[in-house]
Structure 1
Amino acid sequence: MMLHSRQTLDGMSKPTPESQKPASPPMTYRLGGLLAALIVLILIGRETIPFEIRVSDPLEGSRAVDPSTPIRVEGAGLGTRLIEVRLQEDDGTLVHESHAPGPFLIPDLRFGQRYRLWVKAERPWLHQTKEREWTFATPVLPRIESPLNQQLDAEGRVHLQFSDPVGAIRSTGALPFTVSKDPSGKSVDLTAKPGTFEQGQHYTATLHWETPEGIPLPAFEIDIGTAPPLNAEIDIRGMKNLGIAMPIEITFSEPVQDREKAAASVRVITSTGESLPGKWLWYGKQRLQYRPDPYWPAFQTLEVQLQPGPARSIQGGFLARPITATFSTGSDRRIEVWLDRQRVEVFENGELIKTLKASTGKSKTPTVTGSFYIYARFPKKTMKSTGLKPGEKGYYEVKDVPYAQYFHEGYAFHGAFWHNAFGQPASHGCINLATQEKNARQGINEDAGWLYHWASLGVPVTVHETSPPKNPTPALPLSP
């Protein structure tokens, strides 16, 4: 028998038999301990080691997700892997599906859509599985309710209307704009600074915009046209020997928006630079008549000036440069008509130079009275009744009436070859004068022809009902 020493109380060693040595723990005990420790570790790990499914921050708690930013889905925690990822639209349409274990990116969402995201993950070594679900929405893409092809208005603005409120908006391109929104956020005005664009051109602007929450929306382009230049024609350009009452007519190429300002930009000046007074009158929105106050000076060359700036079309077009024209006046010529005496008196430079017998309107077709000017002249003119058809009572038509000079609407001086009743009313309202044209009578004066060749456009005409008391006729004051 093998002996082993053991310690005695007196410190001396004594041999002991081998059978008395302590035994080692059985193997099953050791395995059981390891298993217990593993279970404890698993339990602790399940409670303390993170095991989660995570998505990118914009999705967490967000009411509106930016569709242009991909959503990242991944497992969180040691050993966590994805098993399945499913993205569906609100109606159940499957958009994306994945069974890959690694992180997953969900790209290209649509605007104005609600989504359901379902994710399942596992951690095999801890025997864990987890499912999570999110519902979220992308912002509505506002509908552009205004045309994408517009023209700057008279104030240099373009108006945009949206179906839903929008956030920040800015433009890029060759034409800079300032942006203003109304309180609703649905109405936006883009205003171009004066002087930054040319007339009659087209510009492309790219609009960059956002939702009220600051989510970028797809940029869009708008084609912007500018108004064509405003033009104007001055009717008496280059005319000579005009009467002192001749008005100036300016015809604009388009309707004018602020007619008072446009009229104020008209000047008539003499060769020495003196500005002459006048009164303006509009006929519609495009034709401006400028009359002397009271008359133009005789024997003068005058210049009409229309300055750019104040005159603007309703589209916003303006004169690109000043418009000028010159005309000249003749002598101070005036015509006075006396209905009670049936006489026409002709004055030049303040002196009575001729008196003509006339036939004015009969009682049922009287001649108009008042102050006028000769506005149209024809060597021959066909005249007919107004508002009547052939065969109706009072209808007439006379061809080749000589020396017609109109002074008010259809009223005119003209030769009358069909009667010889001068000195008494005999007309339909016109002022008939003797003429040799088409006249078979002998010894007839050519009064109509003389007045025609003596007068001109713009000669003032005054028709009086009655004559003044019989006194020597004073000389008329000369025009300025």
Structure 2
Amino acid sequence: MALSACGGGAVASGADRVKDASGIRIEVSVRDGATDAGLNTGVRVTGGKLTDVRLIQADDGATVKGAIAADGSSWRPSDQLARGTKYKLVANAKDDKGRSATEQAMFTTVSAKNSFTGSYTPDNGKTVGVGMPVSFNFDKVITNKKDVQSHITVTSSSGQKVVGHWFGAQRLDFRPEDYWKAGSKVTMKINLDGVKGGNGITGVQSKTVTFTIGRSQVSTVDMNTQTMTVKRDGKTIKSLPISGGSPDHPTYNGQMVISEKLVQTRMNGSTVGFDNPKDSYDIPDVPHAMRLSASGTFLHGNYWSSPSVFGRTGTSHGCVGLRDNKGGGGDTPAKWFFDQSLIGDVVVVKNSHEQTVKPDNGLNGWNLSWSDWQSGT
């Protein structure tokens, strides 16, 4: 709604298109009477300065906090508005001759049923490894993919081209052709407020997120030698003996990204399909666990196997094990690697008798070629 209100305290109604001597023009980012307004309603003024803006919840009279810009040209609420809520807005402005104008709007924000949001990783202010993609998971099916994607931009201070790729109708990931440059800053701008996602749903998010790429750490697990070589900024810093998947349960090949770090966790085979008594396991205190796939592949500490298996034999159900102590104490290979790792670091597995991990099984889109990645836009 962009209306010019009459000077001298007059109010322009929602149907008016009036210009007066003051020339004050107050613009509200939602039309009067809207029933699907976004959650970031703002006010702008030209030809004058805002003097007061009041936004009130119609049902209980609660005032929404907000701030007028230092130059008086705009106002925004301090936080996003609530979904499915009716509001009344009154904005007042004056020009340099003391003439005033007022604008009003009554509107209802979009309901939860008719809106969509996306949970995303990484979050603002985080420092992550060079393999960390930006990954959105939407709470509704998105059919207007092109428009939704166009309202999310990801850029890097390194100048790398960043492209989005859809995995189905509810997940959208972004990455460059090669791993992020160490030390670069990545900025994600989410401008989904008011964007139509399809099937009667409207976006409600508006936010800028910035995160930092840390040092480059890429570790390679060789199943032939049962070793893991850890490279930091291109230089080998350590070689560790591991015990990967057994011949019956080999570890996935491919580039996998650490998506979660847990000092200790429970691992129960029945939760990942190992229900046969022969294959079943339930370990309540697995130390130094780092998730590599959504389906349950971890790189973790192993205190229950004989030290002799590390560097020699694959014994796991598909995970990569490092020697550790019960409780995770002491100076062990597992603790060292856990302490040296970031969310977003890359672990590459090669020479396994298993298939390559699927690109949407965890944050593992690096297993798609660049041409295939770009074709998913």
Fold match by TM threshold 0.5: yes
- 1:251 Cα deviation (Å)? 3.5
Query: 1:246 pairs with 113, 132, 143, which one?
Result: 132
- 1:399 Cα deviation (Å)? 1.2
Equivalences for residues 95-106 of structure 1 within 5 A: none
Matched residue type, 1:306:
I
CA distance in 2, matches of 1:374, 1:258: 31
Q: Which is greater in Rg?
A: 1
Greater relative CO (CA pairs within 8 A, separation 6+): 2
Query: 1:357 pairs with 228, 241, 254, which one?
Result: 241
1:417 aligns with 2:297: no
Equivalences for residues 361-440 of structure 1 within 5 A: 361-385=245-269, 386-389=272-275, 392-408=277-293, 409-419=295-305, 420=307, 421-424=309-312, 425-438=314-327
**Residues 258 and 311 in structure 1, CA contact (< 8 A), matched pair in contact too:** no
Deviation string, structure 1 residues 185-236 (Cα, Å, up to 9, x no partner):
xxxxxxxxx978635369xxxxxxxxxxxxxxxxxxxxx9976554444332
SS of structure 1 residue aligned to 2:208: strand
Equivalences for residues 85-104 of structure 1 within 5 A: none
- 1:288 Cα deviation (Å)? 2.1
**Residues 333 and 459 in structure 1, CA contact (< 8 A), matched pair in contact too:** yes
TM-score, normalised with respect to structure 2:
0.58
Query: What is the match of residue 350 of structure 2?
Result: 464
CA distance in 2, matches of 1:226, 1:338: 52
CA distance in 2, matches of 1:315, 1:196: 24
Query: What is the match of residue 36 of structure 2?
Result: 200
**Residues 127 and 213 in structure 2, CA contact (< 8 A), matched pair in contact too:** yes
Query: What is the match of residue 214 of structure 2?
Result: 330
1:303 aligns with 2:187: yes
**Residues 411 and 429 in structure 1, CA contact (< 8 A), matched pair in contact too:** yes
- 1:276 Cα deviation (Å)? 3.4
- 1:465 Cα deviation (Å)? 0.1
CA distance in 1, matches of 2:327, 2:345: 27
Query: What is the match of residue 226 of structure 2?
Result: 342
TM-score, normalised with respect to structure 1:
0.46
- 1:406 Cα deviation (Å)? 1.4
CA distance in 1, matches of 2:153, 2:109: 32
**Residues 221 and 227 in structure 2, CA contact (< 8 A), matched pair in contact too:** yes
**Residues 252 and 287 in structure 1, CA contact (< 8 A), matched pair in contact too:** yes
Matched residue type, 2:224:
D
Matched residue type, 2:138:
F
Deviation string, structure 1 residues 56-101 (Cα, Å, up to 9, x no partner):
xxxxxxxxxxxxxxxxxxxxxxxxxxxxxxxxxxxxxxxxxxxxxx
Count of matched residue pairs:
248
Matched residue type, 1:251:
N
**TM-aligned CA distance change 1:197 to 1:433, over 3 Å:** same
CA distance in 2, matches of 1:345, 1:459: 13
Query: What is the match of residue 125 of structure 1?
Result: none
Query: What is the match of residue 23 of structure 2?
Result: none
SS of structure 2 residue aligned to 1:313: strand
- 1:355 Cα deviation (Å)? 0.3
**TM-aligned CA distance change 1:197 to 1:229, over 3 Å:** farther
Matched residue type, 1:339:
M
CA distance in 1, matches of 2:150, 2:167: 12
**Residues 267 and 275 in structure 1, CA contact (< 8 A), matched pair in contact too:** no
CA distance in 1, matches of 2:144, 2:116: 13
- 1:377 Cα deviation (Å)? 1.5
CA distance in 1, matches of 2:280, 2:320: 19
**TM-aligned CA distance change 1:341 to 1:275, over 3 Å:** closer
Deviation string, structure 1 residues 306-361 (Cα, Å, up to 9, x no partner):
33489423344444674321111110111111000100010111111110001111
**Residues 257 and 292 in structure 2, CA contact (< 8 A), matched pair in contact too:** yes
**TM-aligned CA distance change 1:423 to 1:321, over 3 Å:** closer
SS of structure 1 residue aligned to 2:198: coil
**Unpaired runs of at least 5, structure 1:** 1-173, 176-193, 203-223, 467-480
CA distance in 2, matches of 1:439, 1:237: 28
CA distance in 1, matches of 2:134, 2:244: 29
CA distance in 2, matches of 1:461, 1:388: 24
Query: 1:281 pairs with 153, 160, 166, which one?
Result: 166
SS of structure 1 residue aligned to 2:339: helix
CA distance in 1, matches of 2:201, 2:149: 16
Of 431-440 and 446-455, deviating more is: 431-440
Give the root-mean-square deviation of aligned CA atoms. Answer: 3.2
CA distance in 1, matches of 2:333, 2:151: 42
CA distance in 1, matches of 2:221, 2:120: 31
Equivalences for residues 14-33 of structure 1 within 5 A: none
CA distance in 2, matches of 1:341, 1:329: 31
CA distance in 2, matches of 1:229, 1:410: 32
Matched residue type, 1:354:
K
CA distance in 2, matches of 1:378, 1:316: 40
